[in-house]
Chains A and B, each alone.
Chain A
Amino acid sequence: MNFLRSASSLALRPSSHILTRRAALPATSFAVRHLSDSTKKTIEDAITQNKLVVFMKGTPHAPQCGFSRAVMQILTVQGVDMDGALKSFNILADEDLRNGIKEYSSWPTIPQVYINGEFVGGCDIMLNMHQSGDLEKLLLKEGLIEPEAEESPRA
Chain B
Amino acid sequence: MSTPVTSVTIESLTEACNTKLGATHVEGKDISGGCGQNFEIKIVSPMFEGKSTLQKHRMVNEALKDQIAVVHAFSQKSFTPAQWEALQQQ
Interface residue ranges, A against B (CB under 8 Å): 4-5, 7-8, 10-11, 16, 19-20, 23-26, 28-31, 65-67, 106-109, 119-125, 128-129
Known: A11-B37, A24-B5, A125-B54. A29 touches B69 (CB 8 A): yes
Known: A8-B38, A124-B57. A108 touches B75 (CB 8 A): no
B69 CB → nearest A CB, Å: 4
B74 proximal to A (CB < 8 A): yes
Residues on B with C-beta less than 8 A from A16 are: 72
Question: Are B4 and A26 neighbours in the complex by a CB distance under 8 Å?
Answer: yes
Number of chain B residues close to chain A: CB under 8 A? 27
Question: Are A23 and B61 neighbours in the complex by a CB distance under 8 Å?
Answer: no
Residues on A with C-beta less than 8 A from B35 are: 8, 11
> What is the bound-complex CA distance between A124 and B31, given in angstroms?
15
> What is the bound-complex CA distance between A65 and B69, given in angstroms?
17
Residues on B with C-beta less than 8 A from A107 are: 58, 61
A7 CB → nearest B CB, Å: 6
Report which of A4, A25, A66, A124 forms a contact with B4, defined as CB distance below 8 A: A25
Contact residues of B between 1 and 60, Cβ < 8 Å to A: 1-2, 4-6, 31-33, 35, 37-38, 53-54, 57-58
Known: A28-B65, A108-B61. A20 touches B31 (CB 8 A): no
Question: Are A26 and B1 neighbours in the complex by a CB distance under 8 Å?
Answer: yes
B74's closest neighbor in chain A, by CB? A109
Question: Are B53 and A121 neighbours in the complex by a CB distance under 8 Å?
Answer: yes
